[in-house]
Chains A and B, each alone.
Chain A
Amino acid sequence: MVLEAETARFLGDKAALIIGVVGADGRPFATRGWGLTVLDRATGESRVLIDVDDEERLAHLEGGGRIAVTGSDVPTLRSCQVKGTVDGFDEVTAADLAHVEHYCDGYFGDIEAADHFPRHLLERHRPDGFVACRFVVEDVFDQTPGPHAGAPMVEPAP
């Protein structure tokens, strides 16, 4: 799977990130993401930052669990979902924390402008700590609300 540059840019910028996995109990589990980086467009290797409080709920995914990440543009709701397989989890670095800051500035800024929620309320969602989830993207879908939501997005062949 080769990710288009635009897909990588869109997901890696300030899109609202939500994550779906299957928990250890076999049931779906929803949470939020706090910054995504596509490490290699050619292989789909990516990294998404999640709430450290969710680490325990997601730990069983290491080495082959499935993950879905949807990114949505706050003003327009244009959305894209990537699905793939989890490699593992890393402790966050100073660069990751800087990425969270940058991400929150963009993401919260969009919500402030589009939905008029004040920044201090949005900050209440920001986790106190983070962990990085490494995964490989295998499929990309258009998740924009409407009759075509869920349609596969054609990405260039390797």
Chain B
Amino acid sequence: MSPDDDVALGAMRLCFEGAVPAVIATASAAGVPNTTYLSRVRMVDDDHIAVSNQFFSKTSRNLAENPFASIVVTDPVTFDQYRMAIRYERTERRGPVFDRLREDVAAAAAMHGMEDVFRLRAADVYRVLSVDLVPARIRDTDPGQVVAERVDASRDAELLAELTRRVGRSADLDTLVGTAVDGLADLFGYGNAILLLADEQGQRLYTIASHGYDVQGVGSEVVIGEGVVGMAAARCQSMRVGNLMQMVKYSGSVRRSIEDHGGMAPGRDIALPGLSDAQSQLAVPAQALGELVGVLVVESRAPAAYEVADQHRLEIVASMLAGAIEIERSRARHDTTSAPTSSGAMAGRAARRAAQVRYFPVDGSTFVDGDYLIKGVAGRILWSLLNAYDAEGRTAFTNREVRLDPSLELPEFRDNFESRLILLKRRLDERAAPVRIEKTGRGRFRLLVDGALDLQVVDRDTRA
């Protein structure tokens, strides 16, 4: 940059999160200008930026003729604008700059399942010649700065130690996952957090605990590879996004453009887990012994809410959780607790009409009084328990005996039984179901049934 220039690119870092689309103007050799929005601009170093190039556009053709361009970026917090005069230097098709932009583009493509047709061709690197600040016009009616709350990084060690202590004191998986997401809010201010675990087949993630939502969303699923969260799982790599809404819009626009021109639209709409209007999302894979255990997600309505420090902090937490979860699972698998010899008492039983429980063996889907409750392994566990209750009046169970039930269709290794049981317990609580699960000791639990149950198996799938 010019020596008298006093705006450092580092001071503009939030501008490069993409929350407000950047504008570029180029010109052909003949002097015909072209202007468009950019899907992604990233800072490379103190003197360079990189721009994603996924379609061979007029912008690219102009730059081949005339290497100069003008870019306007906006700070999403202050709304200061910066106009950069830049000169094209080189195109990269591999290396860290390319990889960073490729992740950005892949994350946008994953919003509509278009990873196969919508990918980064190249990263164009430009030298920044000058930066002009166009300051935000603060008017009398302006209420002032709205800044996302950030954790003081100097307290990280202290707070991480406290979270570790809390997790370490958790006696079982249920307490552990709840403690983790609640601790992220209490200690670090992450008001919206979700912990998802990988399923037995490694194809989906399911929510085991969350904090900060009206409904916990326990049991909600994400396909591994889809969206920001699914990509973090598929790549076992943290994904930090500060412009979710722009990404969704951009990806959807590309998809519609292909459709409008008679092409076969690839992909599909993919629902975001958690907040419907999140601007920022940080998804961190939780791994233990080289295997994916789950994904820890925090999200915010503020744009560009998370920085590298947040990512590092959550990577530590996710790693700790993965280890703790694996230890708990291992312990549960080797649990030798024998089956209880007597039936437990039915608590809180009251006379009321029988609750209808409909079970679809084809996928374990279970509905209570017509409302969807759960599916898959957790649904099969519930059905197994309810049948034992119905046939024998049993309410007391051990994890060990239930996991041996072949109707659960558990895989031989890494069966995740405890996670599924916790998922079921939390889902029953969340739905205020007439059946609840209460832990009674290590590897033991009992069924609490409120009123009569009308159990129905539906062999033919008659759902809409």
Taken residue by residue from 244 to 260, chain B's Cβ proximity to chain A (1 for < 8 Å, 0 otherwise) reads as 01100110111111101
Bound together, the chains give a CA A55 to CA B40 distance in angstroms of: 29
Bound together, the chains give a CA A123 to CA B79 distance in angstroms of: 9
The answer to whether B142 and A123 touch across the interface, beta carbons within 8 angstroms, is yes
The answer to whether B25 and A125 touch across the interface, beta carbons within 8 angstroms, is no
Q: Is B341 an interface residue (CB 8 A)?
A: no
Taken residue by residue from 10 to 37, chain A's Cβ proximity to chain B (1 for < 8 Å, 0 otherwise) reads as 0000000011111100111111100000
The answer to whether B55 and A146 touch across the interface, beta carbons within 8 angstroms, is yes
CB distance from B82 to the nearest CB of A (A): 11
Q: B residues within 8 A CB of A124? A: 78-79, 136-139, 142
Taken residue by residue from 270 to 295, chain B's Cβ proximity to chain A (1 for < 8 Å, 0 otherwise) reads as 00000001010000000000000000
Bound together, the chains give a CA A75 to CA B256 distance in angstroms of: 13
Bound together, the chains give a CA A83 to CA B66 distance in angstroms of: 18
The answer to whether A66 and B138 touch across the interface, beta carbons within 8 angstroms, is no
Q: B residues within 8 A CB of A68? A: 25, 32-35
The answer to whether A19 and B58 touch across the interface, beta carbons within 8 angstroms, is no
| Residues of chain A at interface, number, CB under 8 A | 49
Bound together, the chains give a CA A114 to CA B301 distance in angstroms of: 13
Bound together, the chains give a CA A126 to CA B261 distance in angstroms of: 36
The answer to whether A29 and B142 touch across the interface, beta carbons within 8 angstroms, is no
Q: Is A63 an interface residue (CB 8 A)?
A: no
B residues contacting A by CB (< 8 A) are 20, 23-27, 31-37, 39, 55, 57-58, 66, 68-72, 74, 76, 78-79, 81, 83, 85, 136-139, 141-143, 146, 245-246, 249-250, 252-258, 260-261, 277, 279, 301, 303
The answer to whether A147 and B33 touch across the interface, beta carbons within 8 angstroms, is no
Q: Per a CB cutoff under 8 Å, which of B32, B83, B136, B255 touches A83?
A: B32
Q: A residues within 8 A CB of B137? A: 123-128
Residue contacts A-B, CB under 8 angstroms, 13 given = A18-B36, A20-B70, A27-B70, A27-B85, A28-B70, A29-B70, A30-B35, A83-B33, A124-B139, A125-B79, A144-B257, A147-B254, A148-B257
With known contacts A125-B79, A126-B137, A146–B72 Cβ distance under 8 A: no
Q: B residues within 8 A CB of A83? A: 32-34
Q: B residues within 8 A CB of A22? A: 27, 31, 33
A residues contacting B by CB (< 8 A) are 18-23, 26-32, 66-70, 72, 75-79, 81, 83, 114-118, 120-128, 141, 143-150
With known contacts A77-B249, A146-B257, A116–B37 Cβ distance under 8 A: no
The answer to whether B35 and A19 touch across the interface, beta carbons within 8 angstroms, is yes
Bound together, the chains give a CA A67 to CA B27 distance in angstroms of: 10
Bound together, the chains give a CA A28 to CA B232 distance in angstroms of: 39
The answer to whether B37 and A122 touch across the interface, beta carbons within 8 angstroms, is no
The answer to whether A121 and B146 touch across the interface, beta carbons within 8 angstroms, is yes
The answer to whether B257 and A147 touch across the interface, beta carbons within 8 angstroms, is yes
Closest to B26 in A: A28
Q: Per a CB cutoff under 8 Å, which of A19, A72, A117 touches B37?
A: A72
Q: A residues within 8 A CB of B142? A: 120, 123-124
Q: Per a CB cutoff under 8 Å, which of B81, B260, B261, B301 touches A116?
A: B301
The answer to whether A30 and B23 touch across the interface, beta carbons within 8 angstroms, is yes
Q: B residues within 8 A CB of A145? A: 37, 39, 55, 250, 253-254, 257
With known contacts A27-B68, A30-B71, A146-B254, A20–B34 Cβ distance under 8 A: yes
Bound together, the chains give a CA A120 to CA B277 distance in angstroms of: 19
Q: B residues within 8 A CB of A128? A: 137
